[in-house]
Structure 1
Amino acid sequence: MTSDAVPAAIAPPPRALNSLLWTVPLTALWTWLLYAQPVLLESGVPALAARLTAYGLIALGTWLGLERTDLTPSQRRATWLAIIVPFTLWAAVAWSAAINGVFRTGYSQLPLLPAAIFLPLFVGTPLLLLSKRVGQLLDAMPTTWLVALQLYRVVGSQWLAYWLLGRLPGLWALPAGTGDVLTGLFAVTAATALASGTAEGRKAAILWNMFGLADFVVAITLGMIITPGPFQLIIPDGPNVGLDGYPNVLTPAFVVPSSILLHALSLRQLRRRSRSGARDVAI
């Protein structure tokens, strides 16, 4: 799609596009480093560091957002714990299961990895989208936070590095890796556009959310039909690095559903702001 095909009403302002001047080179350099130094990929340290950083930012952002509400201190603490404790337990269970090989093909006749993706969504989505207290948090929190946070998606460039090294089939790695990288790169762009407080910026953020969700639909669908199991329809040529093993399996088992929930929260927040007509405050 060319820039001429994008309606002017939804095109982000030049200031937002300028964010690509530093995010694109850094992402390209990081991808090259992973390709040149495969030991980084094998260690799993970069991806795990990104996940821990995202977890810390979610915990901190939730607390700072609650401090902006008119809730009492005890209500803020209770709400924070009601969000972070289940989130932490979920991360711990997924992490432990991944380390112990629970998600590996053949471990169980049950589709445990698909369950790890969809079960948190079935449980978490209605709770987060219907909760009145979460709505208060979203009303107080700057809309830019939930968007810019997903800059961590550029870590998906690891799938492109695996493909370049011949360790993953391009059928999955190219669309999944490219979609992740583009979502991460444009997270800062969409957040900057959103900070302008204009209708165009809001539309850009909505489109970014929809693109990020579409990326997961493609990655999950392709992953299920090429992975050995009850849903496999295609046997890809070439080697497969083993996406069902630790630490790579943490991406579908935890990062994917948690990122989808962040997209859902961002869309709910943007809808609430649109209804109230309140102007976002960006920090």
Structure 2
Amino acid sequence: MEDVMYDPPAYIWAITTATTAAIPAATCVVLYSGAKRAGLGRRRAALLAGAAAVVLGGWFIATAVIAGHGWYDTRLGHGVPWLPIAVAGFFGTLLALRRIPVVARALAAPGLASRLEYPHLFRVEGVVFLILMALGHLPALFALPAGLGDIAAGIAAPLVAYRLARGTGRRAAR
């Protein structure tokens, strides 16, 4: 049996591409402003934002290559479980980068925790999962929790950011 590839409508590609780029771009802007607020100066803030763009872009490229080769399509007990390895590796890298003094200083800038919530506004992109489900190209078992979860995270982002900025939201954010 031949694999048939689904080519979604152009508006799905547009939404997905725009929001996939917007989240890391907005994160880099927030990190730049945090570095400036931390007194690192324009040049160091720009270097930090550029380094973040390289790390986030590298993650995007790596995960696209892994997905393109079908390596995320492994069954339990058959082959290397690339998805958990990729996710753990990415988060491990981010945690390790926090130990760099310039990064730690920028992340400790006043109000940065709340501003790091704003890039999550773009997670309303989860509507794409619901559209693809409605078009018959994704199962509801996946599309509903993924889509509704992303939409909820996107809608909640400014509310969480506001509460974090007021100093009342750490517990609620968790």
> Would the TM-score normalized by the shorter structure come out above 0.5?
yes
Question: Is residue 124 of structure 2 the alignment partner of residue 154 of structure 1?
Answer: yes
Question: How big is each residue's C-alpha offset from its partner over 1:239-283, in whole Å with a ceiling of 9 and x where there is no partner?
Answer: xxxxxxxxxxxxxxxxxxxxxxxxxxxxxxxxxxxxxxxxxxxxx
Q: How does the TM-score come out when normalised to structure 1?
A: 0.49
CA 1:169 to 1:125, structure 2 compared with 1: closer, same or farther past 3 Å?
A: same
Q: Check 1:45–1:93 CA distance in 2 against 1; reply closer, same or farther (3 A cut).
A: same
Task: Write the distance in 1 (CA, Å) between the matches of 2:66 and 2:123.
Answer: 23
Q: Which residue of 2 aligns with 1:94?
A: 63
**How far apart, CA to CA, are the structure 2 residues paired with 1:180 and 1:65?**
25
TM-score with structure 2 length normalisation?
0.74
Counterpart AA for 1:84: A
Read off the aligned partner of 2:38 and give its amino acid letter: T
Identity %: 25
One of 106, 118, 125 as aligned partner of 2:88? 118
Matches of 1:78 and 1:40 in 2, distance apart? 35
Deviation of 1:187 (Å): 0.8
For 2:73, the equivalent position in structure 1 comes to 105
Please tell me whether residue 176 in structure 1 is matched to residue 146 in structure 2: yes
Question: CA, structure 1 residues 95+147, in 2 after alignment: closer, same or farther (shift >3 Å)?
Answer: same
Q: Deviations over 1:79-107 (max 9, x none)?
A: 44443333332223333444x4343536x
Aligned-pair Cα RMSD in Å: 2.8
Query: 165, 176, 181: which is aligned to 2:135?
Result: 165
Which SS does the other structure have where 2:20 is aligned? Answer: helix
Distance 1:163 1:65 in 2: 39
Displacement after TM superposition at 1:141 (Å): 5.1
Residue in 1 aligned with 2:4?
Answer: none
Read off the aligned partner of 2:157 and give its amino acid letter: A
Q: Structure 2: how far apart are the matches of 1:55 and 1:81? A: 11
Consecutive unaligned residues in structure 2, runs of 5 or more: 1-7
Q: Distance in 2 between matches of 1:88 and 1:132?
A: 22
**Correspondence for 2:5:** none
Which one-letter code corresponds to 2:115 in the other structure? W
Number of residue pairs aligned between Structure 1 and Structure 2: 163
Cα deviation, 1:110-146, whole Å, max 9, x if unaligned, reads 2223322222123322432x44332311232533311
5+ long unaligned stretches in structure 1: 1-37, 211-283
Change (3 A) 1:161 1:69: same
Query: Which fold has the larger relative contact order, with Cα–Cα distance below 8 Å and residues 6 or more apart in sequence?
Result: 1
